Structure 1
Amino acid sequence: MGESRAESDVYVVEPLLPQRLRRPSDLLRFFSALIVLAAVVLLALVAKQTLIGLEADVKEGAQLVPLLSRIAAFLGGAAVLIVPAAFAVERVFHRDGLRVAEGLIAAIIGMAGSFLLGQWLVAGNAEDLRVLLTGDRTIEPLNTLLTSVVAYATAVRISRRPTWRMLMWTTIALYILAFFSGRQITIPSAIVTVLVGMVIGYATLYGVGSPNTRPAGSAVVAALRKLSFAVVSARRIEDDHQGSRRYAIGLKDGTSLDVTVLDRDRQVAGLPYRLWRRIRLNSETRRRAIRSLRAELEREALMAYAAQAAGASTPRLLGTSEIGTEAAMLAYEHIETRPLDEVPDEQIDDELLAQIWEQVELLQIQRLAHRRLTGDSIHLDRAGRVVLTDARSGEIAAGDLLLRLDIAQLLTYLALRVGPERSVRTAAAVMGPDTLAAAMPLLQRIALTRETRSALSKNKHLLAGLREHIVALKPQGKVEEVRLERFKPRTLITIIASTLAAYIVLSQLSRVDIYRVVTTANWAWSGVALVASFVSFVAAALMLRGFVPEPLPLWRTVLVQFASSFVKLVAPA
């Protein structure tokens, strides 16, 4: 642990912040550039003839304006080195030489990597790709200088400086035009070279890390004092479930604050999972995969104020502020509580369950969806009263579906703690049987939080038990089925398997003269072969029926045998 001094009388007790961080955003950009690179290469290989025609058209156009080509060659050849050098000098004068060093590392890796990759292609490996990148001419598959320049520009984060970014990409475009006019580079080679440079630049950024720009605790205290809080002590406590920093702040009047700090570099943490959920779930249930720092601050503040206005028992939000350009904070009143997860199951009585549902009812009346009703966001104060926390996940002006999802989530979590019967009974006493009947179609694993889904893996019959108890309360209830998933993972697997099977079949058919086969085939014997093939599936179905004690329908069993023969095309035996 270390201490950072905020003012002459306040020390912030917190771990020493690392000097460098591996930012999730850099890793995300690396994988994004890698995916785009793979997609461009595959698309170029498929549309090779189109690219050859496009290249011929551009080449002809360049020959019609020779003066433009000469100007591009002059400006691009010189500026592609001058602009990075000028940016490096400017950064050194601003005492940011470490960033320049990172860019030079990326440039060296880019030059070496593109050279080695080019030699590998020239040696005869991946012949189709070599022909695509070189146009079957004696030129470099990848331009080593361009790769190193793009890797350098990416690693020094030149994209954050609009003027320099415009200069850099203008010179790169002129450089490509000059080399293209001189038949020293092809269009696919230029695109792939730029993407390879970006991949190397982002890989270097993530590998060596970036300077830690997170404001220290002293900056948090300074921001609080600007909000007129008389801070006398500050201590870093455990981060919340989203990885945001939290501080316990003592004030001069003896009260305390709980401060949450939103760091800009944490905004993309967990993004792949959120993107997967966004693609897989219907639009009304999904959340935005990524928000700006400002949007995240406003979202949490608005939800906190709305919950207070609804009369729900939540920590009061007392102030918000940005901390420079890299972070923002929210200051809540401190309430001594403990999460419901730390309360033993035997201490969760019906009165406590009713309190929880009453708090949720206050939110639902005002159309507020909490979106995370779990044991770490439901707390108990010293008097045993329920306090709801974690407003950041919530939604204001929520639709019926989101409100019903909250009911389904809380029903399931409480059933894991006290059993389905008590969970349904206490909920019905507060919310009413109709509300539970409306939430019943949403008792699906996909609708629940990750923690709840994980707990359900040990109690697979719990959701069925909840449905049975709800039906017992409302036997005549008729609620339409709700489909939350756009597709199931097995559907995606089927699509991929079908694509592979089609590729294998088409690659085999490409070696066959279809016209000759069709015109010379003996169709009588073809019909016999087709019937014989079908009889083999019937025989396999009869054999399977003979080994199963339960009666199996013949036709469906035949279809199962046919489906299994399809699977053998794309899966090992």
Structure 2
Amino acid sequence: SELGPDAVMLVYEHSGGRTLDSLPDEEITDALLHDTWRQVRALQSRRIAHRRLVGDAILVDRSGTVILTDLRVGEIAAGEVLLRMDVAQLLVTLGLRVGADRAVASALGVLGPDAVADCLPMLQPIALSRSTRATLRRLARERAEREREAVLEASRQAKLLRAEQAADLSGEPSAAGPAAAGKPDKKAVRAEQRAEKRALDEALEEAREEDMLTQIRHEVLRIRPQAPVEPVRLERVRPRTLISFIAGAIGGYFLLTQLTHIEFGPLIANAEWGWVAAAALFSAASYFAAALALLGFVPERVPFVRTVAAQVAGSFVKIVAPAAVGGVALNTRFLQRAGVRPGLAVASVGASQLFGLGCHILMLLAFGYLTGTEKTPSLSPSRTVIAGLLTVAVLVLVVTSVPFLRKFLFTRVRSLFAGVVPRMLDVLQRPQKLVTGIGGMLLLTACFVLCLYASVHAFGDGTTSISLAGVAVVFLAGNALGSAAPTPGGVGAVEATLTVGLIAVGLPSEVAAPAVLLFRLLTLWLPVLPGWLAFNHLTRKEAL
């Protein structure tokens, strides 16, 4: 009822009654089934699809009248597919309560044979509600258990019969003498095995039961033998597809926010394209290095080209997840799909990450020593850094001194090394694999450092004086912060760290900012589209 130009009053009537699920079997009469189908026919005559004709949506009031409720997921002006899905759903709902014969007979009496026969292609689990699919799976498990019990009973009876026959034969004298009596007759053994197999097959055939969908299908085909039975192709929106679209939207949002305030005209006019091409080449080579770094810790045989494609797909994944999380999950999933057992896949990726962390720290210390702190005093440890390290040391002492915390930490560390350490031992037994892993990690870092170095020279105008070791220190520090940052791909934290670091090692700000932008474009943003294509390709090939 309207209450004015801006208000509406909606009144509900409490009908009372019980749902079909709560009714006992003896109260579900043919008249009640007929009334239920009349309500569905009324909806379908107005092109309304209910979309959820399950037991708790069918209400029977005190006078025995059927009321269809729970129309919140229904659709108006529904197409034929949705209307036929409603018929198929109600056939299964009623069949689970009163049997396929009564459910089909009641539908034929109201809708007619043609309308019922048209729903046969919809008799498939994907077209049914979630609760109905769960019920069908439960009934399938019960049928399989009954069939298994029947086969086991038949096998037990066959063994008892064979034992009785052997006991009877053992008491009879052998015509060929004692030597022949000790040897089993091969023909007799084969005959017994065939008989036992035949008995098991007969027991399985006798115990086999048709599922509800098959029973309904057979009941309809008795009325309409020419009715189409081939299931139509129906697909639900998969969570992976939904996540893929959400990830693409998030990646596009971050990309636009990064690029809206950049003036590309001066950047393109002042860039040296030879260095830009070199930076792009180093960025592309990093995916091959990443594949080597991963395969070096996987003793099993995994295709190299597909591994490279997985690393390219990681360029898309790290846009929507922190760098330290997305790559680990993707590589673990990839190795599992490649045939590596789940525990070993996790251990391989963990060993790669652990070894990569050690290499990262060692290279940071080595390049920091080479760079020195004469021209870059800002890179030397500050009081804040020293205070933070001391705080961490105190926390470690407190944790190791408290028994409860020490036990908790020991349990977590032991669970990690329980898989990683044995995996490392497996890799150590194959020096070629170990060299591949170490070489891949060093090559991966070198590719990124050279990419940043080339990006700096692309805007340096030939006058930039910066050492390769200084660029390596800046990259390693920025990469460490980007891995720790919770933003996807380290967006924001990496750009700020790299820009400040390049300025600290003596690079002008008008060169440092576009160099970092070019580096991030080549290593983060431009590979997003190829990464998305690789991700979908590997998904279709069931490699992810």
Bigger radius of gyration, 1 or 2? 2
Question: Which protein has the bigger helix share?
Answer: 2
**TM-score, with structure 1 as normaliser:** 0.30
Higher relative contact order (CA 8 A, sep 6+): 2
**TM-score, with structure 2 as normaliser:** 0.32
